[in-house]
Amino acid sequence: MQHINFALILVLAVFITGIITLLEKIIFAPKRKKLQLPSTTEDIQTSSLKTPAWIAFCQSIFPILFLVLIFRSFLFEPYQIPSGSMIPTLHPGDFILVNKFDYGLRLPVTGHKIVSVNKPKRGDVMVFKFPENPNINYIKRVVGLPGDHIRYENKLLYINDKLVINKHTTVVSEHEEDKKADQKNDLTPTFYDEQLGKHNFKIKIYPDISYDNGTRWTVPKGMYFVMGDNRDRSYDSRFWGFVPEENIVGKAIYVWMHWLHWYQLPKFSRNQAIP
């Protein structure tokens, strides 16, 4: 979902401004005070005691950066959806809120878990570091838990040899750009209602797109099998394997804005909890 390591940049910014703030308090300010000459005028004394502008700037932004780091690392973090792999649940340009503590508290940058809370549940929409390139975040739906047997055949999903029931639906609000893309490629999608665990959601399938049928997977311990809701247009566990527990970032819970292009006004008509 993103290529810039914002977490690392934020940690470095907090560290640098924090060190400068601390040095100003215990070294720089006392040193300037000691250099005061008794014979100097009051105006000169005030000028020489004044905190340099660059240090004052670091002092002013340090508490803000620190609070942002705590909020972003341990509570909630915003992400923007870059692709259509989760259509119709999530569209490109959706800004989502990710719960960072539901799956356990983790250190920023390293992702090392320091407090265990809950485990991902079947049907959760999960953000994780892409196993083939941990600098990129992916978002998919959790389909298989550790120990599960997964099979995908004739565009039907089986978990532990039980068919995941889906029902055809025609009530789907699709983004206009998605419709235009399907028309351009001469594709007619079909939509279904599906349920995994406590999650009820819609999936998108292209009958005209073939798939290698009958592939089976057994989810190893400490791993998760994930798929996109746009089943025929999702690069997921069917192609690159499983998501290690240590790669988990958080649980996607809410769409709070839609802003596809910078030259357009943001929209809030899609604001909703993520099913």
Q: Is 162 a catalytic residue?
A: no
Give the integer Cα–Cα distance in Å for 50 and 48: 6
Among residues 100, 129, 140, 202, the one annotated as catalytic is 140
DSSP state of 237: H
Signed CA dihedral, 255, 177, 86, 131: sign only? negative
**DSSP annotation string for 58-125:** HHHHHHHHHHHHHHHHHTEEEEE--SSTTTTTS-TTEEEEEESSTT-EE-TTT--EEE------TT-E
Least Cα distance to 192 among 206, 202, 178, 207 occurs for 202
Instruction: Choose, from 85, 129, 237, 251, the residue flagged as catalytic.
Output: 85
Q: Cis omega before residue 88 (within 30°)?
A: yes
Q: What is the C-alpha to C-alpha distance for residues 240 and 225, in angstroms, rounded to an integer?
A: 10
Sign of the Cα torsion 107, 12, 97, 64 reads positive
* Neighbouring-strand partners of residue 195: 200
Cα–Cα nearest to 210, from 186, 177, 232 = 232
Contacts of 248 (CB under 8 A, 6+ apart): 103, 111, 120, 126, 127, 128, 224
Q: Do 99 and 256 touch, CB atoms closer than 8 A?
A: no
The tokens describing 191, both together, are: 């939509």
Please give the positions annotated as active site: 85, 140
